[in-house]
Amino acid sequence: MAQFTVRIHDDQEYIELGNLLKLAGVISTGGEAKMFLQDNKVLVNGEREYRRGRKVRRTDLVKVNDDEILVR
């Protein structure tokens, strides 16, 4: 299991899940997000998520298969 931390700008309240996956290097383009979310187990704070536009805020925990992404 790998753990990544993604930092968002202080003036940003949230980051969309598709953009987070791209910044963490899970996907290479934003266009891949929809299919990736359908084909892989992605949890946001323990709940299964299929929406690439889901707002992910600081302190949220995103699990992608066995990897974790922390938002700071």
Could you report the per-residue pLDDT of 38-50, keeping only the tens digit for each? 999 999 999 999 9
pTM: 0.90
Domain spans of the chain?
3-71
Both tokens of 13, joined, read 């309240």
Alpha-carbon torsion angle 52, 41, 26, 34, nearest 10: -30
Q: What is the pLDDT of residue 1?
A: 79
pLDDT value at residue 21? 95
The pLDDT of residue 67: 93
Of the CATH numbers 3.40.50.2300, 3.40.640.10, 3.10.290.10, 3.40.920.10, which one belongs to the domain with range 3-71?
A: 3.10.290.10
Where residue 16 falls (left for φ over 0; alpha for ψ -120 to 50; beta otherwise) is: beta
Predicted pLDDT of residue 56: 97
Please provide the distance, in angstroms rounded to a whole number, between the alpha carbons at the two ends of the chain: 19
Residues 6+ apart with CB under 8 A from 38: 50
Residue 2 has pLDDT above 90, yes or no: no
**In what helix (H) or strand (E) does residue 28 lie, and over which residues does it extend?**
none
